[in-house]
């Protein structure tokens, strides 16, 4: 798989996550947020099990103790991020949630720099700034109200998302086992969430039944498909660039709100969508120019006398 195809998979991931935002909000109306996360990821675990088994059967290299440990840590990050975001959505508005979720775009390059001492490209830094400004315009017409507990929980979830993105990139550099990683993170998230949810939230069968469409959409598409596509794509797209592409989640969430919930996109919100798209475009231009330069040099080196 080349970089362009990997980026397209990340674009599809952002689309699925953005549209799942509505399903997550609706699920909170009839059941506990932690229990929703547990059931959602339990469904994803069963979905990925045959793929993980097939991958293990056809992979010659065995996983090490370090691989299992890092997969568990990534699963813990997903557990923290998914639950904090879902609980935060109980009180925060959809527009605030969309803006605050996009903050992990800035956190990923910072974490990469702190852990590897590799500075991001200037185009990546510029794209991060442009994307955050765009997400800000999507939130409350560019004017966020005072923060509440839900807002702070979504920001805390961003730290977990950012750590997971960076750790996934490190895992894939060492071990080419994307389906195992998906299965492992789903299992950790499902088990911990179910224990927490069953211990602290009421189990109302009618409420779970009412949330079944949201559970199916989030469990099969948002978790099972999208998280796995993210891992597969991150074998070819660096973590900071991957985070920027996935920040289009906020754009797809706004568009889904407009189409499904008849929410009206303001002029400033439309400008915000455009700025996020511009930020992603800047990230995409870097690899294209690099490929063009590479082919250009190859043409010069292989050319004969005129």
- By the 8 A CB rule, do 180 and 55 touch? yes
The 10s digit of each residue's pLDDT in 24-52 is 888 999 999 999 999 999 999 999 999 99
Q: Supply the pTM of this predicted model.
A: 0.82
Beta carbons of 151 and 100 less than 8 angstroms apart: yes
CA distances from 79 to 40, 41, 71, 85 (A): 12, 9, 12, 10
27 and 211 Cβ atoms separated by less than 8 Å: yes
Name, in order, each residue with C-beta under 8 angstroms of 281's C-beta and a sequence gap of 6 or more: none
Q: What share of the chain is helix, strand, coil (3-state, %, to 5)?
A: 80, 0, 20
CB 43 within 8 A of CB 220: yes
Contact 86, 37 (CB under 8 A): yes
Of the ranges 78-82, 117-121, 146-150, 295-299, the best mean pLDDT one: 78-82
Token reading at 44: 């994803």
Decide if pLDDT at 288 tops 60: no
Among 16-20, 159-163, 275-279, 286-290, the least confident range? 286-290
Contacts of 252 (CB under 8 A, 6+ apart): 14, 15, 17, 18, 19
pLDDT in tens, 135-163: 777 665 545 555 667 778 888 898 999 99
User: Do 208 and 39 touch, CB atoms closer than 8 A?
Assistant: yes
- Per the prediction, the chain carries an average pLDDT of 83
Residue where the block lists tokens 């079944």: 212
| Residues listed for the chain | 306
Q: Give the count of beta carbons closer than 10 Å to the beta carbon of residue 117.
A: 7
**Displacement of CA 154 from its chain's centroid (Å):** 13
């Amino acid at each position: 798989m080349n970089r362009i195809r990997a980026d397209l998979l990340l674009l599809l991931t952002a689309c699925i996550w953005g549209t799942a935002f509505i399903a997550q909000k609706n699920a909170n109306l009839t059941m506990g947020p932690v229990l929703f996360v547990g059931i959602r990821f339990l469904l994803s675990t069963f979905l990925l099990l045959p793929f993980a088994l097939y991958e293990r059967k056809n992979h010659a290299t065995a996983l090490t103790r370090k691989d299992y440990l890092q997969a568990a840590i990534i699963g813990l990050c997903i557990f923290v991020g998914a639950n904090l975001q879902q609980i935060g959505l109980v009180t925060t508005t959809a527009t605030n949630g969309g803006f605050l979720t996009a903050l992990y775009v800035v956190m990923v390059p910072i974490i990469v720099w702190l852990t590897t001492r590799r500075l991001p490209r200037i185009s990546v830094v510029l794209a991060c700034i442009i994307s955050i400004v765009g997400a800000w315009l999507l939130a409350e017409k560019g004017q966020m109200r005072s923060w509440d507990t839900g807002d702070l929980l979504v920001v805390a979830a961003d730290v977990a998302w950012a750590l997971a993105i960076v750790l996934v990139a490190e895992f894939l550099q060492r071990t080419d086992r994307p389906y195992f990683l998906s299965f492992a993170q789903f299992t950790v998230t499902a088990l911990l969430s179910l224990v927490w949810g069953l211990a602290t939230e009421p189990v109302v069968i009618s409420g779970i039944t009412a949330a079944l469409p949201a559970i199916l959409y989030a469990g099969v598409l948002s978790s099972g498909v999208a998280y796995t596509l993210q891992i597969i794509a991150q074998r070819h797209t660096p973590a900071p660039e991957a985070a920027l592409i996935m920040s289009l989640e906020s754009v797809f969430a706004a568009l889904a709100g407009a189409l499904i919930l008849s929410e009206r996109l303001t002029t400033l919100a439309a400008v915000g969508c455009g700025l996020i798209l511009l930020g992603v475009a800047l990230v995409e231009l870097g690899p294209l120019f690099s490929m063009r330069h590479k082919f250009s040099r190859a043409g010069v080196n292989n050319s004969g006398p005129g």
